[in-house]
Structure 1
Amino acid sequence: MAEIIISDTSCLIAYQRIDRLDILQKLFHEVIITEQVLSEFGYAVPEWIKVKSAPPPFGHSILETLDLGEASSISPALKTPGSILILDERKGRKVATDLGLEIIGSIRVLLLAKDKKIIPSVREMVDQLSEHKFRFSTHVVRQLLIEAGEA
């Protein structure tokens, strides 16, 4: 797994809602967000999250497809070899994949956290996220629980 993670806003919001931003710190050597993501997030971030200035990589055309946070997150990912980009929205994932970026979703991060014994249960975390109005594809959750041995 990569040492550097670049996160879009949705992951931060999800983990903030359940008071578990620490999962990212425990899993990755470096966590980067952009100023645009920080603005969308709307909360102060812990000092271990690095905030970088990053203009959207393709001018106005990418903003027609993606929101500002997603678009701005792609820029540092393109400039940081070996990094992984956390994106949950389908459109953003497609753009990032088409650009050859490695991506992961917020709930897949939970599987990594369980593997590293940072959390005891993926299901418990997914249930907490669901209680806080964070929505996931039923198929994705089912597959993740199978991989976690919790199906």
Structure 2
Amino acid sequence: HSLHTIKTPQRTDVRLSELLEEEDYPGAIQLCLECQQAAATFRHYSCISELSSKLQDTLEQIEEQLDVALSKTCQQFDYGHYTKVQAAYRLLGKTQTAMDQLHMHFASAIHNTAFTIVLGYVELCCGNDDTNFQKRQYQDLCKVSGSTRTSAR
């Protein structure tokens, strides 16, 4: 019975990979947490103690993938996808972290989009000669854009 119980958590790698490929983050986290509980029960076996640290690493990787998945909601919102991501953060007990990360991702997406638009406008108005506008700060581009508009009048 003990060998069967030990063998089950060690086979979870395959299932975890499948769940992550399907972007079923809540399922992957739930499976990982269940395996951690089973590993705690059998921690006196050396192979299980190694498994425990591997499961913790896997949980951290899932969190990283969750952050990437959360950032995707800023550009292309999908209710089902967002619901899965929020459920996963809830399982981890990190809903506030999710909100903080979402705020940061939205601010970054807005900044990047605005920068791209202003950059395109400045390059269109000033020509794209040797001046490399991409290396300039957003505020500097806005100043160039403003001076271009006044000189064009």
Alignment TM-score, normalising by the size of structure 2: 0.28
Q: Which has the higher strand share?
A: 1
* Bigger Rg, structure 1 or 2: 2
Higher relative contact order, structure no. (Cα contacts within 8 Å, ≥ 6 residues apart): 1
Alignment TM-score, normalising by the size of structure 1: 0.28
Q: Which has the higher helix share?
A: 2
